[in-house]
Amino acid sequence: MQGTPYDPDNIFAKILRGEIPSHAVYEDEHTLAFMDVMPQSEGHTLVIPKTPSRNIFDADPTTFMWLMPTVQKIAKASKKAFHANGVRVVQFNEAGSGQTVFHLHFHVIPTYDGVELKLHARQQEDGGHLAHNAEMIREALKFIS
Ligand code: AMP
């Protein structure tokens, strides 16, 4: 399919190569999950494939076969870790839809009674707080099949 090519210097590609740090919560052969640095709610996590694709338009269908089990694991673990009332799963494709980082990713956003989600990609969270939340999710993952 024609379209803007994948940029190997996008920020998530750099995270995958270990060139910049992240608060990782889960990794397997095909996927990585880490804390969003500008979370829309407590525990907001991103799930990305290790294969390079820009978004839903250029990704090989098998990419989703690997991604979705990780999205499900993270959704279950974050709901448990933070006693959320639910979890929103969101995915943007191209700038017009709100995509700002052009490596395919799913947002896993816990929701809470009476708490509105913050705006998308606006306010940087404290690193220590993100590290703490990552630890909470890693701990909850031990109980998720
Ligand atoms: P999107 O707009 O769907 O492309 O989402 C990109 C997300 O990546 C936003 O929610 C940002 O807060 C988040 N983000 C940007 N840079 C980083 C980073 N270095 N580590 C973790 N999350 C990031």
Tens digits of residue pLDDT in 23-47: 999 999 999 999 999 999 999 999 9
Instruction: Give me the pLDDT at residue 145, please.
Output: 82
Question: Which protein residue has the closest C-alpha to ligand 1 atom 11?
Answer: 121
C-alpha of 97 from chain center: 17
CB 75 within 8 A of CB 108: yes
Question: Which protein residue has the closest C-alpha to ligand 1 atom 15?
Answer: 37
Question: Which protein residue has the closest C-alpha to ligand 1 atom 10?
Answer: 121
Domain 11-141 in CATH: superfamily? HIT-like (3.30.428.10)
- Higher pLDDT: 1 or 99? It is 99
What is the C-alpha separation between 30 and 95, in angstroms, rounded? 25
Question: Ligand 1 centroid vs 14 CA: distance in angstroms?
Answer: 12
Structure token digits, residue 117: 């989600």
Instruction: Give me the pLDDT at residue 126, please.
Output: 96
C-alpha dihedral, 141 to 63 to 37 to 116, nearest 10° = -80
Active site residue 107: no
For residue 44, which atom of ligand 1 is closest to its CA? 10
Q: Output the ligand 1 site: residues, CB below 6 A.
A: 11, 22, 36-38, 46, 92, 98-101, 120-121
What is the C-alpha separation between 113 and 41, in angstroms, rounded? 12
Could you identify the residue written with the tokens 């990704």?
59
All structural domains of the chain with their residue ranges: 11-141
Query: What residues does 48 pair with on adjacent strands?
Result: 32
Instruction: Give me the pLDDT at residue 2, please.
Output: 59
Tens digits of residue pLDDT in 118-142: 999 899 999 999 999 999 999 999 9
Question: Ligand 1 centroid vs 121 CA: distance in angstroms?
Answer: 6
Query: What residues does 33 pair with on adjacent strands?
Result: 26, 47
